A = this chain, B = another copy of it.
Amino acid sequence: MKTYRELLVARSGHGTSLRELDPGFSPIGCDKAASVEEVERDGLRLRRQQYLLYAGHARSLLICLQGLDAAGKDGTIGHVFTALNPQGARVHAFKVPSTLEADHDFLWRVHQQVPAKGEIVIFNRSHYESVLVDRVHHVVPSDVVNERYDLINAFEETLALSGTVVLKFYLHMSEAEQLRRFKRRLEDPSRQWKISESDYTERALFPQYLEAYEELLFRTNTKHAPWFVIPADRKWFRNLAVCKIVVESLEQLKMKLPKATVDIKDIERRYHAAHRAEKRGNGA
């Protein structure tokens, strides 16, 4: 049986059209109720792996979540990554660059947010926005976009070589599903505050974004930092797939608890001495 990693890793080689990949896909026999339970159970595996990562203090994990508006980036965080211990895990959402950030190269602010040893960081949007928004809105000329793919690959290789596992998820949602989700947001008073004018103007550019994603998947799907294309029309399958791929990726590192750095026997002897002293103190 294929692992989720094998099943959903982006194809290398050009010519793979996202239009040929069904955003509503889920494997035969895989249903909602069972998946929700499975994600719950896998939360424990995830937390176990996080503990080993934290204790080992040698490796780290960077997760990049990408997808169009309403593709489910926030939802994935809320459903899958709440299983993590907040100590040692962090979400960073990249917003419009500040003046200071805009005065530097496009990877400057990103580099500052990568995980430290033992840490897990989730990027909600990432450096990939600079080959998406900037490309679709012609903020930079196409040769600059081209150059950025190579710079991104070199950057991610730097991270990987220093022990960071880099996993990149493209949440693949259909245009029809996006419209349905926007509608549901409109009808839900608790979420109306989130709605902005740009959600609607960007929607018109759906095909251009899809094309930009196809190009970046082709250019930046590397061995040290693979892309996974996650069918995202069904939220429960999206959660299951992301969760499984993260767990599989960590478990294949076969991390072990580090050895004690002190002489446990010696410490034990001192403990017993302290304990006896305390008892005598109470008896006096």
Q: Which residues of A contact B (CB under 8 A)?
A: 55, 74, 77-78, 81-82, 84-91, 93, 122, 124, 175-176, 179, 182-183, 186, 189-190, 192-197, 200, 203, 257-262, 264, 267-268, 270-271, 274-275, 278
In the complex where A175-B278, A186-B271, A196-B262 touch, is A77 in contact with B87 (Cβ < 8 A)? yes
Using Cβ atoms and an 8 Å threshold, which residues of chain B touch A275?
Answer: 179, 183
Instruction: Please classify the interface of chain A as helix (H, G, I), strand (E, B), loop, or mixed, using the class held by over half of its residues.
Output: helix
Count of identical protomers in the assembly: 2
Q: Is the CB of A262 within 8 A of B197?
A: yes
Q: How far is the CA of A261 from the CA of B117 in the complex (A)?
A: 41
21 A-B pairs whose Cβ atoms sit less than 8 Å apart in the complex: A55-B193, A74-B87, A78-B85, A84-B86, A86-B89, A86-B91, A87-B91, A87-B93, A175-B278, A179-B271, A179-B275, A179-B278, A183-B275, A189-B257, A192-B260, A192-B264, A193-B261, A195-B261, A196-B262, A197-B262, A200-B267
